[in-house]
Chains A and B, each alone.
Chain A
Amino acid sequence: MNTENLLTVTNLNITFPSPKGDVSAACGVSFSLGKEKIGIVGESGSGKSVTGRAILRLLPPYAQVVCDEIRFKGEDLLTLSEKEMRRIRGKEISMVMQDPKYSLNPVRTVGHQIMEAYTIHRRVSQKEAKEKTLEMLAAVQIRNPKQVYNLYPHEVSGGMGQRIMIAMMLIPEPSLLIADEPTSALDVTVQLQVLAILDDLVTTRGMGLILISHDLELVASFCDRVIIMYGGRIMETINAADLHDSTHPYTRGLLNCLPKIEGGSTRLPVLKRDASWLDAHYNQHITGGSDASG
């Protein structure tokens, strides 16, 4: 683990107003990361995606974000204007979304879109940008970059679409990548191949990575540290290697209810939710106040 802090989030609260009263999507979320791979895991509605989006200020305007500090490379992102935020997005922090089918522009070739991500942050000639794009396509292990450059999003497979998204997000050379369920729509083998590409690029370029996922086992085997969220709160932050020894009842419950290849066909233990998990003091008590944050 690198001790140099890249991003620090302190006491992030997100509420969505609704006619039935405010819905709290994240409550008191704090974490920090350096140049490492960190995973945010939770079920649907646990607030993992809104946390990722809040960092880049990508939530809809009606969402109320109250936060003490989002410090990125010594700069507080909360104090930046919208124009300054545009400099951060893509160039410093970029985000890979879940489904390439909806995230790519259907009427532009993929090469054009990747090139745009590069030229928007850098003053370079068209020729140079195109060369860089082809290089990036090769880096995400697309075998024939020249051919793929001219394809439209509907002409590529899911796995290739996700590689294109990664290429697009990494071409401005950001120092932090937020990947929101980047591989959930893919087959298992392709999923691992895409993660391997991410892993290699993140390691060689010395970037930080936040991987948002619902797959606890996958995150545990891929990331350095894991943040487990439930009901908008962080249940615990734990080193990935220690995940299977976790004592938090929610983490245990999640791990136990997974069917296993080695397991018999006995009934699966069902997760019993406990309202006290959402109590602010409960998780401090169970993890002993200090967690594995770096």
Chain B
Amino acid sequence: MLLVDKLNIIFGHGKAKNHALKDVSFSVKKGESFGLVGESGSGKSTVLNCIAGLLQNWTGLIEVDGKTVHRRKRPIEFYRRVQMVFQDPYGSLHPRHTIDKTLKEPVAIHRLGNGNDRVAQVLKEVGLDPKFRFRFPHQLSGGQRQRVAIARALILEPEVLLLDEPTSALDVSIQAEVLNLLQDIREQRNLTYILVSHNLAVVSHMCENVTVMNRGQIVEKITKQQLQQDTPQNQYTRQLLLASRGYDRQAIDQFKEY
């Protein structure tokens, strides 16, 4: 479904040059849920931004469904098929548009028609009561806003969903609800997910395959089973796994920078 080959991106010039992605390659099958894990600055979100077309000065190859994706000129159909959900539900919704207006805008852009029915349908699908339809984002809680953000992506009936830390701004109880929702939708619609997160537990819960990134490079590709059996080969992955198991004074002294 999606192929990324030797993706490179460099920000800045001269002294401030930052090689943010170094030969990142991976492929995602249709219907797969693919996880990208890393700490801040590892380039995990940058990969998503390149795929989504938010960054354009990359080099390498991105293919969706066997067709090469151009860096700048992309058909409108591409944006319908590949949709993104952002981290911060407080910042990603227009504060002065009602939920109804936010959801109808992509429908109008892609000339899908039948906006009213689509909005009602998608709200139902993400588990939001119809009474929220004409409210503004500030009248909603964080979890409800993230549901709207997911609805905004789903209303175009995409095939690939790029999820950039979809639950890291939410409380754990709300996180469980949103993760359940994402899993249900994937089953119903046979979607392909690329999930970016810093939380190993979230990624291992959601994804069959996990790719670990550090400093713009892929460190290790492991399966969910390997992660659960605690058998990653790479030292950095092992440290990350150890760190996500909670506070252990002795273990922390062994931490290194990779």
Question: With A253-B173, A254-B173 in contact, do A218 and B228 touch (Cβ < 8 Å)?
Answer: no
Chain B's interface: helix, strand, loop or mixed, by majority? helix
Quick one: which of B175, B201, B206, B247 has the most chain A CB within 10 A?
A: B247
State A261–B172 Cα separation when bound (angstroms).
15
Q: Which of B24-32, B65-73, B238-246 contacts A (4 or more CB under 8 A)?
A: B238-246
Minimum Cβ distance to chain B for residue A18 (Å): 15
A109-129 residues with Cβ-Cβ distance < 8 A to B are none
Of the 9-residue stretches B46-54, B76-84, B248-256, which lies at the interface with chain A?
Answer: B248-256
**Please, what's the 1-or-0 string for A3-41, where 1 marks a CB less than 8 Å from any CB in chain B?**
000000000000000000000000000000000000000
Chain B, interface residues (CB within 8 Å), range: 35 or more
- The CA of A199 and the CA of B247, in the complex, are separated in Å by 10
Tell whether B180 is near chain A: CB-to-CB under 8 Å.
yes
Is B55 interfacial (CB-CB < 8 Å)?
no
Q: Is the CB of A267 within 8 A of B201?
A: no
The residues of A that contact B183 with a CB separation of less than 8 Å are 265, 267
Contact B176 A192 (CB under 8 A): no
- A221-B247 in contact (CB<8A): yes
CA distance A222 to B249 in the complex (A): 9
Contact check, A189 vs B255: say whether CB atoms are below 8 A apart.
yes
Q: In the complex, which residues of chain A have a beta carbon less than 8 angstroms from the beta carbon of B180?
A: 267-268, 270
Contacts of B249 in A (CB 8 A): 196, 199
The residue that B239 contacts in the complex, of A43, A158, A189, A271, with Cβ under 8 A, is A189
In the assembled complex, 27 residue pairs joining A and B whose CB atoms fall closer than 8 Å, in A order, are A43-B171, A44-B142, A187-B39, A188-B198, A188-B244, A189-B39, A189-B239, A189-B240, A191-B243, A195-B252, A196-B249, A196-B252, A199-B247, A218-B246, A220-B246, A221-B247, A253-B173, A257-B172, A258-B201, A259-B179, A259-B204, A260-B205, A261-B200, A265-B224, A268-B176, A270-B176, A271-B176
- A196-B249, A271-B176 given; name 8 further pairs at CB < 8 Å: A43-B173, A214-B171, A216-B172, A257-B173, A261-B244, A267-B180, A268-B180, A270-B176
Give the 7 A-B CB pairs with smallest separation, nearest first. Answer: A221-B246, A259-B205, A257-B176, A271-B173, A187-B39, A268-B176, A221-B247
B residues contacting A by CB (< 8 A) are: 39-40, 142, 171-173, 175-177, 179-180, 183, 198-202, 204-206, 224, 227-228, 239-241, 243-244, 246-249, 252-253, 255
